[in-house]
């Protein structure tokens, strides 16, 4: 009875103490589960996956990714695994935009592998740096340490280690590299179109794994951090600011060439484009099979390869991605979404609105596609693998089986 009387007279303190106790027990339980899983995983490494020879690995780390938590997660859960597996690690901490791209492009000797410890922007810089080099390229592996890493884990949103599930996702991302399981992956090339004034003649291409996003949904998603003071409602606030603006849609002309499994014309066209690494396209263009040991496809003449189709469209959102079609070769899939309507219904549904659950008004399958934005949309931005670029006339093309990825 005395205990009940104390609780009744001090119920606020007792409630607070109970909440703290529950949180402490839950944290202790999570810590024990993580320790147990890491112990089992490292034991498996020592038994099966220790490298036969010392291998050098370059870790490209974005220390500000995931609200500056990416470095902590890598140090706690990834770096010990790599050391235990016999890898020699060099860590590059990026300190400005383009740092990783320049560093990888200018390296005298590539390591045995590159580990991307960041988000989609960091992976795009590493891929761009590799694709601008000449000669053989080293494989890469991508860790889901950014807030969104589409190429590594289909957009795993990371806000902190809450349970053993996230630690498992990091270890599973490293597991293919430890087992030496890899495959060739196609990349997307982005070239600014020279309009004849000579100012763009020296611009180098950008390469990415995920694609291009342009329009309303991308503006809302990229602008929600400006409304941080709304807390969990910042997504709604960003949607409201865009819903009643004048620039609800984008206008562009487009020119595309049909998909091609590989022929003499597209191979010769690719060789003429600079500064693509010499020999890379012709060496990997026809490795469409999942098993890279299969016979390469012979060069043939495709009469439809050089055909061009033009059009003009006004859409709320435009997405360009690289997909593997039913004939097992890579092609571009451009989705033009025009069904979005401004209003309160759209604002209320914005957290659930994604490009995957909206039917596009127009879908274009192509090998290359050019976008020529209208003058009134030139102040907008493309998003290429999470990085923003000016919405200028651009050519998007697919480079099949260009890089080796541990996945």
Domain containing residue 306: CATH number: 2.60.200
The sign of the torsion formed by the CA atoms of 93, 96, 100, 105 equals: negative
9: left (phi over 0), alpha (psi -120 to 50) or beta: alpha
| Mean pLDDT (whole number) for 321-332 | 84
pLDDT band, residue 157 (cuts 50/70/90)? very low
| Position 406 in a domain | no
More confident residue, 264 or 358: 358
Residue 187 confidence (pLDDT) above 50: yes
DSSP 119-152: -HHHHHHHHHHHHTS-S----EEEEE-SS--HHH
| Position 139 in a domain | yes
The token pair that represents 208 in the structure block = 């990415």
Q: Which of 151, 180, 209 is the last residue of a domain?
A: 180
Residues 94 and 217 in one domain: no
Looking only at the bridges linking them, the beta strands covering 140-144 and 113-118 are parallel
Residues 250 and 362 in one domain: yes
Secondary structure letter of residue 359 according to DSSP: -
Q: Is 84 exposed, middle or buried (0-12, 13-18, 19+ CB in 10 A)?
A: middle
- How many percent of the chain have pLDDT more than 90? 20
pLDDT band, residue 195 (cuts 50/70/90)? low
The strand pairing partners of 362, in sequence order, are 336
Helix (H) or strand (E) holding 189: strand 182-192
Residues 226 and 114 in one domain: no
SS3 25: helix
Q: Highest-confidence range of 25-34, 242-251, 352-361, by mean pLDDT? A: 25-34
More confident residue, 67 or 61: 61
Question: What is the model's pLDDT at position 162?
Answer: 55
The token pair that represents 94 in the structure block = 């990026």
Residues 224 and 173 in one domain: no
Q: How far apart are CA 161 and CA 165, in angstroms?
A: 8
Question: What is the model's pLDDT at position 382?
Answer: 87
More confident residue, 341 or 255: 255
SS3 161: coil
The strand pairing partners of 253, in sequence order, are 312, 372
Secondary structure letter of residue 351 according to DSSP: G
| Mean pLDDT (whole number) for 69-93 | 89
| Position 407 in a domain | no
Residues 52 and 166 in one domain: yes
Domain containing residue 146: CATH number: 3.40.50.10330
| Mean pLDDT (whole number) for 247-258 | 86
Question: What is the model's pLDDT at position 299?
Answer: 61
How far is CA 76 from its chain centroid?
23
pLDDT band, residue 180 (cuts 50/70/90)? confident
Residues 75 and 157 in one domain: yes
Residues 310 and 214 in one domain: yes
The token pair that represents 13 in the structure block = 């303190």
Q: How far apart are CA 124 and CA 120, in angstroms?
A: 6
Residues 41 and 86 in one domain: yes
| Mean pLDDT (whole number) for 68-89 | 88
- Mean pLDDT score of the chain, rounded to an integer? 79
Q: How far apart are CA 213 and CA 143, in angstroms?
A: 22
pLDDT tens-digit series, residues 89-146: 999 999 988 899 999 999 999 999 999 988 888 899 999 999 998 878 899 999 888 6
| Position 304 in a domain | yes
Q: How far apart are CA 177 and CA 56, in angstroms?
A: 12
Q: How far apart are CA 269 and CA 87, in angstroms?
A: 40
∠ CA 253-385-154, rounded to 5°: 115
Residue 173 confidence (pLDDT) above 60: yes
pLDDT tens-digit series, residues 214-226: 888 888 888 887 8
More confident residue, 152 or 162: 162
pLDDT band, residue 354 (cuts 50/70/90)? low
Residues 158 and 278 in one domain: no
* CB of 133 closer than 8 Å to CB of 277: yes
Domain count, the chain: 2
Question: What is the model's pLDDT at position 292?
Answer: 41
Q: How far apart are CA 177 and CA 173, in angstroms?
A: 8
Residues 219 and 318 in one domain: yes
Residue 205: which of 275, 270, 135 has the closest Cα?
275
Residues 24 and 91 in one domain: yes
Q: Which of 147, 180, 213 is the last residue of a domain?
A: 180
Residues 56 and 201 in one domain: no
| Position 262 in a domain | yes
**Count of alpha carbons within 13 angstroms of residue 321, beta-carbon side:** 12
The token pair that represents 148 in the structure block = 């969104």
The token pair that represents 66 in the structure block = 């995931």
pLDDT tens-digit series, residues 259-316: 887 776 666 555 555 444 434 443 444 333 333 444 455 666 667 777 889 999 998 8
| Position 251 in a domain | yes
pLDDT tens-digit series, residues 22-62: 888 888 888 888 889 988 888 888 777 766 677 899 999 98
Q: pTM of the predicted model, to two decimals?
A: 0.80
Question: What is the model's pLDDT at position 267?
Answer: 61
Residue 168 belongs to what domain range? 2-180
Q: Which of 130, 162, 180 is the last residue of a domain?
A: 180
Helix (H) or strand (E) holding 268: helix 264-272
């Amino acid at each position: 009875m005395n205990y009940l009387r104390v609780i009744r007279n001090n119920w606020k303190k007792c409630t607070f103490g109970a909440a703290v106790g529950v949180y402490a027990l839950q944290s202790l339980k999570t810590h024990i589960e993580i320790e147990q899983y890491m112990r089992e995983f490292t034991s498996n490494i020592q038994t099966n996956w220790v490298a036969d020879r010392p291998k050098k690995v370059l870790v490209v780390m974005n220390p500000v990714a995931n609200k500056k938590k990416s470095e902590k997660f890598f140090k706690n859960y990834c770096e010990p695994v790599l050391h235990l597996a016999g890898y020699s690690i060099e860590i590059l901490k990026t300190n400005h935009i383009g740092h990783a791209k320049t560093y990888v492009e200018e390296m005298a000797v590539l390591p045995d592998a590159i580990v991307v410890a960041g988000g989609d922007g960091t992976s795009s810089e590493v891929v761009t740096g590799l694709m601008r080099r000449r000669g053989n390229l080293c494989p890469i592996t991508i860790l889901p340490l950014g807030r969104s890493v589409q190429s590594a884990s289909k957009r795993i949103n990371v806000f902190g280690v809450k349970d053993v599930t996230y630690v498992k996702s990091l270890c599973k991302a490293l597991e293919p590299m430890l087992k030496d399981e890899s495959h060739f992956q196609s990349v997307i090339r982005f070239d600014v179109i020279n309009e004849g004034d000579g100012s763009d003649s020296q611009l180098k291409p950008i390469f990415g794994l995920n694609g291009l996003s342009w329009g309303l949904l991308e503006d809302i998603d990229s602008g929600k951090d400006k409304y941080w003071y709304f807390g969990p409602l910042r997504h709604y606030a960003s949607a409201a600011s865009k819903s009643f603006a004048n620039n609800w849609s984008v206008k562009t002309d487009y020119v595309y060439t049909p998909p091609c499994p590989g022929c003499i014309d597209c191979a010769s066209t690719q060789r003429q484009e600079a500064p693509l690494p010499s020999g890379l396209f012709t060496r990997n263009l026809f490795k469409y099979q999942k098993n890279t040991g299969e016979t390469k496809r012979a060069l043939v003449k495709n009469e439809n390869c050089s055909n061009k189709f033009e059009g003009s469209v006004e859409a709320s959102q435009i997405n360009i991605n690289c997909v593997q079609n039913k004939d097992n070769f890579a092609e571009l899939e451009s989705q033009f979404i025009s069904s979005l309507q401004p209003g309160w219904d759209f604002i209320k549904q914005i957290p659930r609105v994604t490009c995957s659950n909206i039917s596009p008004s127009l879908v274009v399958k192509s090998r290359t596609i050019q976008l020529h934005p209208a003058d009134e949309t030139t102040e907008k931005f493309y998003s290429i693998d999470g990085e923003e670029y000016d919405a200028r006339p651009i050519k998007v093309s697919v480079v099949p089986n260009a890089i080796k990825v541990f996945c």
